[in-house]
Amino acid sequence: MGGIAAIARQCGHQVTGCDANVYPPMSTQLEAQGIELIEGYSPDQLLQLKSKPDLFVIGNVVSRGNPLMEAIMNQGLAYTSGPQWLGEQVLAGQHLLAVAGTHGKTTTAAMLAWILDSNGREPGYLIGGVPLNFTVSARLGAGQFFVIEADEYDTAFFDKRSKFVHYHPRTALLNNLEFDHADIFTDLAAIETQFHHLVRTVPSTGLIVVNAGEPALERVLQRGVWSPVEGFGVDSQLNWSLFPQAQDAFTVLHQGQPVAQLVWAENSGVMGTHNQLNALAAIAAAHHIGISPTDATRALSTFRNVKRRLELLGIKKNITVYDDFAHHPTAIATTLDGLRRRVGQARILAVLEPRSNTMKLGVMKAQLPASLSLADHVFAYGATSDKEALGWDLNAALAPLNQALGAEKGSANVLPKALVFTELDQLVTAVVAEAKPGDHILVMSNGGFGGVHQKILARLT
């Protein structure tokens, strides 16, 4: 919604917005673009605004019973959803390149936008984070191309279709697919249905770039496809594949033949096999609009990752602190794997806040111990307030990590591998007490986490 607000401002509209718990980097980005932010959802906003809005654009966080939404409806004011407004007012007539999938959407969309921008396409884009190459998460663009992070989450309380059905891409990139968003989807099959709806919107002259290693995506395409399909992965028999050279380099193969090589910049913040596949997918999508793999890899050699994707926040006393958006067990495991490959045997202290709607429901709790196995110690935060409280026992869920450590050490008198806290200050104290020179502290949350990152850095003196 912040990105949509920025694009509306660039279209020449006067834009204001409200939300609960507004925090950086989005809040500062919007303020820098002259967008007034109002905290909370009081109906009094309708009287305080300098001019009467022509239209209210409603995000999917808003539900019936929200006091401002009720006032809008009671007064008969015009409203629509963010995806519908974007699809009708901005995306119509554009060659849209949409990046969909459970994981990696933000990074892959940022890669694709950077490839287009570096090759003179001047794309518009809407990315669910702040890409460091651009510094803002959305822009209108000056050309005929638009890159969008295509989310499968529902559109609004009055439109329960996935957001991406409003976009009508010409190039659709399907990165991966597994169960998530347990608050709105009953099972994986329900999400596959939404992805099939997306596939139905791609024209026959378009292209679907699909991760060939994903059984769920294979099932989606088996339900019907009316566009050319190109698969990507590690198998050299695919349309697009890669051959790893190192953690920061790989060779791109097209139809089994080497066509380019990518070497990440030292300060890219990109690591792990998953990001090599993200880059390969972006290269394949860019090829559809005439950008060669050589030109695409040249652009990606200067790519810098999105904020909050293994973002280096600071180093104190030779202790490195990172911030990452990971909140799904697969994303947690993938992020830890990438960091482990980068730091080798150095200790990793994982600091986790399981706060997504799916996590709160406990659907993924059994997968948490395995996802955190590459960390040396885990410091987890379980909020106890009514709004943020988990509906399950975090201590019990992480107990297998401590049982495994006890068996390995042969003693119960060692620091547990996993510790759970209900107070942030206690968590910060424990992390700082355990951290030693050479350690890497990885903070993972899809929220602000009470500013725990900066609190840890401030205490590392």
Q: Tokens standing for 144?
A: 């005929």
Q: What does pLDDT average to over the chain?
A: 89
Q: pLDDT at position 411, please?
A: 46
> The domain 2-77 belongs to what CATH superfamily?
NAD(P)-binding Rossmann-like Domain (3.40.50.720)
Rounded to whole angstroms, the Cα distance separating 333 from 339 reads: 10
Rounded to whole angstroms, the Cα distance separating 461 from 452 reads: 16
Task: Yes or no: say if 357 and 388 are a contact pair by the CB < 8 Å rule.
Answer: no
Q: pLDDT at position 406, please?
A: 53
Residue 414 has pLDDT above 70, yes or no: no
Q: How confident is the model at residue 267 (pLDDT cuts 50, 70, 90)?
A: confident
| Least confidently predicted of 62-76, 277-291, 310-324 | 310-324
| Least confidently predicted of 29-38, 222-231, 322-331 | 322-331
> The domain 311-459 belongs to what CATH superfamily?
Mur ligase, C-terminal domain (3.90.190.20)
Q: pLDDT at position 394, please?
A: 85
Q: How confident is the model at residue 181 (pLDDT cuts 50, 70, 90)?
A: low
Q: How confident is the model at residue 386 (pLDDT cuts 50, 70, 90)?
A: low
Q: pLDDT at position 440, please?
A: 95
Q: pLDDT at position 82, please?
A: 96
Establish how many alpha carbons lie within 13 A of residue 194's alpha carbon, considering only the half-sphere containing its beta carbon. 28
pTM here is 0.79
Residue 289 has pLDDT above 50, yes or no: yes
> The domain 83-300 belongs to what CATH superfamily?
Mur-like, catalytic domain (3.40.1190.10)
- Residue ranges of domains in the chain: 2-77, 83-300, 311-459
Average pLDDT score over residue span 313-318:
89
Q: How confident is the model at residue 385 (pLDDT cuts 50, 70, 90)?
A: low
What digits encode the pLDDT tens for the residues 105-124?
A: 899 999 999 999 999 999 99
